[in-house]
Amino acid sequence: MQKTILNNGVEMPLIGYGVFQISPEICTRCVREALDVGYRSIDTAQAYYNEEAVGTALKESGIAREDIFLTTKVWISNAGEEKAAKSIDESLRKLQTDYLDLVLIHQPFGDYHGTYRAMEKAVKQGKIRAIGLSNFYNDRFIDVAETYEIKPAVLQLETHVFCQQKAMRDLVNEYGTKLMAWAPLAEGKNNLFNDSILSEIGEKYGKTAAQVALKFLVSEDIIIIPKSVHKERMAENLAIEDFSLIEREMQIIRTMDTGHTLIADFSNPALAKFLLHYED
């Protein structure tokens, strides 16, 4: 599986399996199936309520821990140095592991500076291999990147063909930070699965519009974590390493960028209030 190298030398698969909005009742089954079809990177979070289910799936799979790249995220209610440290230990317990490959601050709210300090300490204690941020834009990303000894290895943002995050990619490149795409298929918005541009390119390679959309991101060295609860779709999302997009096709897809998000605007005060009062 194709990998990228983070700014601290850690290798991370470019394609992972995301478990956002997968209930604990089916999450163990879904993660086991994802591992069965070949995924070796799993992305969860404290606020997804399914860390325990992920941990069970990993344990039941029999796959060596060192062969799996495991990501979780610290939620706002666990912000602050002391609370974040305790929450990381709790995530380790739920995931049935003694280390995490990547831990992100989930949202740019609350005492995220205290959280980042806790994450730095956890790296030095051997509990975490790499740390980063999720949903931090512009000044808030710089606030962390310029303040701490350990630079964010990963920044996870809404990223897809309609929102390619070109400005943020230019910004984070200065720190060697890799962009990680949540909602890499835009949750199907703008009729992505039937898009004429993506479908026409895909026809040439015997691929779907969705596979072309994912291949574009990976070709830009963007980490992706597509989600599906159907094993055949999991396999389809993973089956993008057997073809390459030519530069003309890449340029055409770049013109699809709208320059704005379609799913979540983190500068929206209403969204900020919702997240700050969301209980994990």
Catalytic residues: 48
Work out the burial of residue 46: count CB atoms within 10 Å of its CB; fewer than 13 is exposed, 13-18 middle, 19 or more buried: buried
- Give the pair of three-digit tokens for residue 72: 């979780």
Question: Which of 136, 168, 133 shows the shortest CA–CA distance to 266?
Answer: 136
- What single string gives the DSSP state of each residue in 142-156? HHHHTT-SS--SEEE
Question: How crowded is the C-beta side of 73, counted as CA atoms within 13 Å?
Answer: 28
Considering all CA atoms of the chain, what is the largest pairwise distance in Å, rounded to the nearest integer?
54
Which 3-state string (H, E, C) describes 176-235? CCEEEEECCCHHHHHHHHHCHHHHHHHHHHCCCHHHHHHHHHHHCCCEECCCCCCHHHHH
- Strands 69-74, 178-182: pairing is unpaired
Whether residue 100 contacts residue 66, with contact meaning beta carbons closer than 8 Å, is answered with no
For 132, the enclosing helix (H) or strand (E) is strand 128-134
